[in-house]
Amino acid sequence: MHRRKFIGAGSALVALSLMTPTASRAAQNPGRETIKTRETANPTLQIKDIVIGAGQPKVIVSTTSENAQQTLQYIDSIADRNDFNVLELRIDALENGTNATATAKLTQQISSRLGNKLLLVTFRTSAEGGKKTISDREYAALYRTLLEQGEFDLLDIEMFRDKALTTPLITLAHKKGRYVILSSHELHSTPSAQIIVSRLREQQARGADILKFAAMPQGPADVLTLLNATLEMHQRYAQRPLLTMSMGETGVLSRMSGELTGSALTFGMIGDASASGQVAAEDLHNVLGVVHKGMAS
């Protein structure tokens, strides 16, 4: 699709997202409040010089390489680019990703190459769309070693791993000066807005620094459900930055509309995609800039 047409279509769908049944009822009943907004400022999180939750959404790109050498070569080739802010090391993609000592060393090597960009470490389990199956005990043990020996800024913890094992990880991460993303992924469908908001609120209550939810849409209505749930969470409950997305090609607009709905981060790709629906980081960065300029005018 031509870029101008793509942006135009995006703007139309964002506008449509505000006319869900709830919004439509409000239009029929002027003066009736449908979402009670918070009286506090938008939640932000500053790590280094990067302020998550202020301005346009920050862009994350993920590694997909299978070994350390390829990963470092990839990072060397992109580290100076200005179209992303956070590098996600997908350790589940690595052949020896469960070797905690080797992976901790890799995080040190990557951090030294990123300059002011942030490093996010993620082991995405197969249950939530990742490359490998791992027990909850192995998952927690791997993360404990990484927190003790590694060098990174953010750690993604899946909220449905055993709480008895992951709650101490959140505590340890904060003790080590790291920030936690609690995440939830629905790979085959999109739940109701009520469920989405409930999960994000649970993540917040459990001490997450960034709240993440991703779901696969079955059609455009599911994308609108995700966008409206994000907006409701942002306006009513959020005390932490949000990271939400509707996956696949149908959900691509959700990766670009965060400044409207309150999603403070988004995923792009440089090279191979780590998940369906990702677009090139350069294009994503440009579209986010257009949206930001338009909303600021």
SS3 270: coil
pLDDT band at 14 (very low <50, low <70, confident <90, very high): very low
pLDDT digit string, tens, across residues 178-222: 999 999 999 999 999 999 999 999 999 999 999 999 999 999 999
pLDDT digit string, tens, across residues 218-248: 999 999 999 999 999 999 999 999 999 999 9
pLDDT digit string, tens, across residues 77-135: 999 999 999 999 999 999 999 999 999 999 999 999 999 999 999 999 999 888 899 99
pLDDT at residue 17, rounded to an integer: 41
Beta bridge partners of residue 182, listed in sequence order: 157, 211
How many whole angstroms separate alpha carbon 129 and alpha carbon 118? 23
pLDDT digit string, tens, across residues 41-68: 689 999 999 999 999 999 999 999 999 9
DSSP string over 33-80 = -SSPPPSSPPP-EEETTEEETSSSPEEEEE---SSHHHHHHHHHHHTT
Closest CA to 73 of 110, 105, 99, 101: 110
- Each domain of the chain, given as residue ranges in start order, spans 3-26+46-296
Q: Does domain 3-26+46-296 have CATH number 3.40.50.720?
A: no
**212 included as an active-site residue:** yes
SS3 211: strand
pLDDT at 29 over 80: no
pLDDT at 24 over 90: no
pTM, 2 dp: 0.86
Q: To which residue do tokens 């027990």 refer?
A: 135
**185 included as an active-site residue:** yes
Spot the catalytic one: 212, 234, 285, 293: 212
Cα torsion 94, 100, 105, 111: sign: positive
pLDDT at 15 over 70: no
Axis crossing angle, helix 193-205 with helix 220-232, rounded to the nearest 10: 40
Q: Which residue has the higher pLDDT, 295 or 110?
A: 110
How many whole angstroms separate alpha carbon 137 and alpha carbon 27? 51
Closest CA to 123 of 171, 78, 181: 181
Cα within 13 Å of Cα(126), Cβ side: 5
Q: What is the CA radius of gyration of the chain?
A: 19
How many whole angstroms separate alpha carbon 158 and alpha carbon 257? 24
Q: To which residue do tokens 């350390």 refer?
A: 68
How many whole angstroms separate alpha carbon 94 and alpha carbon 65? 7
pLDDT band at 37 (very low <50, low <70, confident <90, very high): low
Q: To which residue do tokens 């009736």 refer?
A: 32
Axis crossing angle, helix 100-111 with helix 68-78, rounded to the nearest 10: 20
Main-chain phi, psi angles of 180, to 5 degrees: -115, 130
Spot the catalytic one: 117, 185, 234, 285: 185
Any alpha helices (H) in the chain, and if so which ranges?
A: 3-17, 21-28, 68-78, 100-111, 136-149, 163-175, 193-205, 220-232, 258-261, 281-296
* Residues 6 or more apart in contact with residue 286 via CB below 8 angstroms: 3, 83
In this structure, the number of other CB atoms found within 10 A of the CB of residue 2 comes to 7
Main-chain phi, psi angles of 213, to 5 degrees: -145, 135
